[in-house]
Structure 1
Amino acid sequence: MTTNNEQQTIKNWFDNTYAKRGESYLRPKEAYYIFAELLQLKSEKNFLDVACGLGRMLEISNEYGVNNYGIDLSEIAIAKAKKKLPTAVLLEANAEALPFNDTHFDYVTCLGSLERMIDKDKVLQEIKRVTKPEATLCFMVRNANSWRWIFTKKLLFTINRKGHQEAKTYEEWELLFQQNGLKVMQCIPDQWPIMKGLKLLSLGRFNGFKTKQKSATPLKFANEFIFILQKN
């Protein structure tokens, strides 16, 4: 059961982070195109970004002509996102209690945030509630078997407790989704580390941000997983 104190600690951490670091806390805009392409966003459809932060994913989805919605626990993030996205519906809200009607959304993203949420089952049930039967969902989640998590987080004791930083193995994430009535349609490694490397090797000429790239690292050791899901 989520307590107000737990949630307030997380909210405070994100408020402070967005106030101090702003856009520098996020990946560059081009890193978000891959999520729109994996979802195959279509114009006039309803799109929700859960834990939208400063709205970078919504900036990309806006280019696809969808109806943009976003929620975030951080009032600082929502205030900043509204300045960039005046036509989007942006609300300060907890993902455990989404302020939307049933079966409203065609697409949902939750990128790098589910692992930070306290009651993940409740979040997933809420996302199921507000999505249409044929909706497509995209989650990017941290891998507990990645070298970065094991060595730089666990062994060096740098896990961000105030921001509720967590990780799970592929099998644990898959089971969590399945237990909440979500079917894994596809899972690929986080694309941004691969794209950064290709951009460096091409001396900045790489322009394949909308195309899935192959990774030399086995999926089970990826830094983060990108899951594409549909309702069972």
Structure 2
Amino acid sequence: MAKHLLIADDDSNIRSLLRLVMTGEGYHVLEARDGLEALSLLAENPVDLAIIDIMMPKLDGLELCEQIRQHYDIPIIMLTAREQLKDKEQGYLRGTDDYITKPFEPMELLFRIKALFRRYSRVSSDRIRLGGVIIDIINYEIIAGDTVLLLPLKEFELLAQLAQYPGRLFSREELITLVWGADYMGDSRTVDVHIKRLRERFADYREDFTIQTVRGIGYKVEVAT
């Protein structure tokens, strides 16, 4: 079955170009001229991945990204002419999975779309696979070859949260909310402590996955290919 892509961009030329490329690859394409129209399409249609521009009327791409991340479990790619690091930081903090600046090669965007679909396909309803390491989210077990690891609860939940979205950057504050809860009153550095422990526990499995630090922002899991 063809996957559905949402393209949200106020530039009709960009939308036309992407529609031509993506339909040629067998994708079904939905188009939105602004952020509000994009939200309406999401509410009424199945969407497997969203490609959104930052500078849009009515609801900009950063706000749209945040809305999508709150209500839908789909990959997000941001398109923008902004190249400054702080703009990319804002995109990742709002929940984007990838970021590509204009002008861009349509085929590069296509490669990134396919890579994101591969990442998301590693997650099933009850198990997450990181190379040869399997996270059993029903039984709260880590299966690595013939070894079954039982982690402290918060370490397990932190790893599972990162592993559900390989390559996606999570801020410390976001991880605190997702793992410890919005009412957590402790120090956000507890995330750093738990990440350190996870790295120590899985030091022998670096060929399967790594937990990477993005300085000043947070963490992400990368799966070996």
Please report the TM-score for the alignment, with normalisation by the length of structure 2.
0.30
- Greater RCO (CA < 8 Å, at least 6 residues apart): 1
Name which one, 1 or 2, has greater alpha-carbon Rg.
2
Please report the TM-score for the alignment, with normalisation by the length of structure 1.
0.30
